[in-house]
Amino acid sequence: MKFVDEFRDGELGQAVAGEILGIVEPGRHYKVMEVCGGHTHSIYKYGVDDLLPANVELVHGPGCPVCVIPMGRVDDGIALAHEPGVIFTCFGDMLRVPGSNGTLLEAKAAGADIRMVYSPLDALRIAREHPDRQVVFFAIGFETTAPSTALTLKRAKQEGIENFSCVCNHVTIVPPLRALLESPDLRLDGFIGPGHVATVVGARPFEFIPAQYGRPVVIAGFEPLDLLQAIHMILRQLREGRCEVENQYTRVVPREGNLRALEVMAEVFALRPHFEWRGLGFISQSALRLSDDYADFDAELRFSMPGVRVADPKACQCGEVLKGVIKPWECKVFGTACTPEHAIGTCMVSPEGACAAYYSYGRFARQREVV
């Protein structure tokens, strides 16, 4: 398949791994964070980290939207789903995220009308088909997914669909990166930038990282050779004393992003003053709400929602995993009480979560040869 097979070539992968081995400085330990959960998934699925020298460590970032949604928002969603006459729609991976009193899947089993959709457009279609019901879309995701919600709300407004509304949990990637860079817990040498978020926002939003924090960023694709090349580009910058934003994923990511998507998002959304991230706490201007022009479609205004803040389970160390402070297998409940089939923490729910990806692909091969 075009753009797939050639980026999974084993011989080329070995060759790039050899170049990485040749470029690292012996005795120096490199910590590189892959920001996006999709990268985490690919790294474990293809064993990319097994091709790296032992002194190149990959740290998993906060770029999985399911993983960072706080329990209180899940509880809000469940309460809304139980409202009489409501059809509650969400992406499938949201269904198993634990709230303080169960998941949306369990709420569905208890009788709530909860339906999985592939796109917000599907939720809007359900609203058209059920004019006598209130259809709510529980929107989550970074800038990759937010344009889809924005376009759907524009359509709803244009068509005058009054029984459709949205709980907006969309988050933005830059504020948590800044928070991580400010964190004293973590010393990072560079970032693998999120490829598909950059498709929308472009490269410019990441330029503060080299400019203000002196760390290189390489925006990367999701195939194993993409990741190996991105790691090589980061190490090469470090070796040459350079520090900038580079784009490895040029076959998809335009440097300026998708300006039309940004315009639509600016029309439909506004920044929240602050938003709670699971494990990371409140981060200012890190999430989106519906703009005043779209307030009629805001489910948080249309319905009464509990809005209670719920502390994470004590046993769960998703926060430390999301900040890259500990590895998934260092969590006390990893693979025992917390598994993909019965997740305690969000990082074990989505296949993009570091714990789930590691549980699926990496747990049997942790020991690797030390160079």
Partner 1 sequence: MNWCGLDPGTGPRSGQVGSPLAVTGGRNDEVGCITCGDVAERMLVRTIDHATGLARCDGGEEVDVALVEPVEEGDAVLVHAGVALVRVA
What is the nearest approach in angstroms of partner 1 to the Cβ of residue 192? Answer: 13
User: Which listed residue (53, 62, 141, 345) binds partner 1 by CB under 8 A?
Assistant: 141
Find the Cα–Cα–Cα–Cα dihedral 11, 249, 42, 243, rounded to 10°. Answer: 100
User: Which listed residue (24, 51, 64, 234) binds partner 1 by CB under 8 A?
Assistant: 64
What are 54's two structure tokens?
């032992």
Interface map 25-54 toward partner 1 (x if CB under 8 A): -----------xxxx-xx------------
117 sits near partner 1 (criterion: CB under 8 A) = yes
186 sits near partner 1 (criterion: CB under 8 A) = no
What is the nearest approach in angstroms of partner 1 to the Cβ of residue 63? Answer: 6
What is the nearest approach in angstroms of partner 1 to the Cβ of residue 182? Answer: 23
260 sits near partner 1 (criterion: CB under 8 A) = yes
200 sits near partner 1 (criterion: CB under 8 A) = yes
352 sits near partner 1 (criterion: CB under 8 A) = yes
What are 240's two structure tokens?
């040459």
End-to-end CA distance of the chain: 35
174 sits near partner 1 (criterion: CB under 8 A) = no
User: Which listed residue (121, 174, 243, 333) binds partner 1 by CB under 8 A?
Assistant: 121
Q: Which of residues 321-350 bind partner 1 (CB under 8 A)?
A: 340-341, 349-350
User: Which listed residue (52, 177, 264, 299) binds partner 1 by CB under 8 A?
Assistant: 264
User: Which listed residue (12, 23, 116, 325) binds partner 1 by CB under 8 A?
Assistant: 116
115 sits near partner 1 (criterion: CB under 8 A) = yes
Which range binds partner 1 by CB under 8 A, 54-62, 70-78, 247-255, 327-335? 247-255
* Residue 141: partners with Cβ closer than 8 Å, 6 or more residues away: 65, 91, 148, 149, 170, 171
172 sits near partner 1 (criterion: CB under 8 A) = no
Which range binds partner 1 by CB under 8 A, 24-32, 61-69, 177-185, 279-287? 61-69
User: Which listed residue (70, 98, 194, 319) binds partner 1 by CB under 8 A?
Assistant: 194
**Nearest C-alpha neighbor of 94 from the set 61, 141, 133, 60:** 141
User: Which listed residue (47, 102, 254, 313) binds partner 1 by CB under 8 A?
Assistant: 254
196 sits near partner 1 (criterion: CB under 8 A) = yes
Give the number of residues in contact with partner 1, rule: CB under 8 A: 63
Pick between residue 108 and residue 178 the one whose CB is nearest to partner 1: 108
CB atoms within 10 A of CB 282: 13
300 sits near partner 1 (criterion: CB under 8 A) = no
**Nearest C-alpha neighbor of 178 from the set 258, 280, 270:** 280
Pick between residue 37 and residue 53 the one whose CB is nearest to partner 1: 37
What is the nearest approach in angstroms of partner 1 to the Cβ of residue 123? Answer: 8
User: Which listed residue (190, 224, 351, 362) binds partner 1 by CB under 8 A?
Assistant: 351
What are 148's two structure tokens?
């889809």
* C-alpha pair distances (Å), 65 with each of 164, 196, 297, 352: 23, 14, 22, 9
On whether the CB atoms of residues 106 and 345 are closer than 8 A, the answer is no
Binding site for partner 1 (CB under 8 A): 1-3, 36-39, 41-42, 63-66, 89, 91-96, 105, 108, 115-122, 125-126, 140-142, 144-145, 147-148, 151, 194-197, 199-200, 222, 251-254, 258, 260-261, 264, 340-341, 349-352, 356, 360
